[in-house]
């Protein structure tokens, strides 16, 4: 609309109606095809102001809600990281297929079957997978808590310190066993437990 041109009564009434509906200044300006400043002036003449306090409060409340969700996700990722660490040193069941064989002199054939073997701890392949899960979870905890620096509680810092200590312990244990979790095993490398007999 050209500058200085008056706004008709119908448009002014429409602005009043949209103000009453709670639309923002910019939304009303788009609806009536006027500049934001013109809408503000007309609204002010009608006794309406575009108070941003409520909008700001709503945004801040949403940011607090999202920060709370991030804390929950960080806590869940921390639990998953601890679980992976626990599983690295826990007994595990290895399921293997044992092929059929001739069981009697009459060459009666015994069908193959799956057999379970209990290992003191996971084999190298499973250890590598658990180490990967652990690393991903710790990385996610760091990402999720990074924006919270400055508002981090002592409890959160304590959890992060414990996770850091656990990473160092796991790295030392793997190094002592000669396991390098950053490399793939050779094709002919045998994982612990692969040679177990029934």
Per-residue pLDDT tens digits for 56-80: 777 778 888 888 888 899 999 999 9
Domain ranges for the chain, please list them.
9-50, 61-90+122-176
Whole-angstrom distance, CA of residue 47 vs CA of residue 113: 84
Kindly state the average pLDDT of the residues 111-134.
84
- For 114: left if phi > 0, alpha if psi spans -120 to 50, otherwise beta; the answer is beta
Residue 125 has what pLDDT? 86
Burial class (CB in 10 A: 0-12, 13-18, 19+), 122: buried
Helices 9-20 and 25-32: crossing angle, nearest 10°? 150
Structure-block tokens of residue 99 = 């092929």
Whole-angstrom distance, CA of residue 10 vs CA of residue 59: 33
Q: What is the DSSP string of 91-105?
A: -EEEEEEE--EE-ST
Total-model pTM: 0.42
């Amino acid at each position: 609309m050209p500058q200085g041109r008056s706004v008709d009564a119908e448009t002014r009434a429409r602005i009043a109606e949209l103000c009453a509906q709670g639309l923002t200044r910019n939304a009303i300006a788009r609806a009536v095809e006027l500049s934001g400043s013109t809408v503000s002036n007309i609204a002010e003449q009608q006794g309406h102001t575009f108070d941003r306090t409520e909008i700001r409060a709503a945004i801040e409340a949403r940011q607090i809600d999202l920060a709370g969700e991030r804390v929950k996700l960080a806590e869940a990722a921390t639990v998953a990281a601890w679980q992976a660490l626990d599983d690295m040193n826990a007994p595990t069941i290895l399921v293997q297929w044992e092929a059929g064989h001739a069981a009697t002199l009459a060459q009666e054939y015994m069908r193959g079957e799956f057999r379970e073997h209990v290992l003191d701890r996971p084999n190298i392949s499973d250890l590598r997978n658990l180490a990967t899960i652990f690393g991903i979870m710790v990385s996610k905890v760091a990402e999720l808590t990074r924006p919270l620096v400055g508002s981090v509680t002592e409890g959160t810092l304590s959890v992060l310190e414990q996770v850091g200590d656990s990473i160092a312990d796991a790295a030392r244990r793997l190094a002592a066993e000669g396991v390098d979790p950053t490399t793939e095993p050779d094709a002919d490398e045998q994982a612990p437990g692969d040679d177990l007999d029934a």
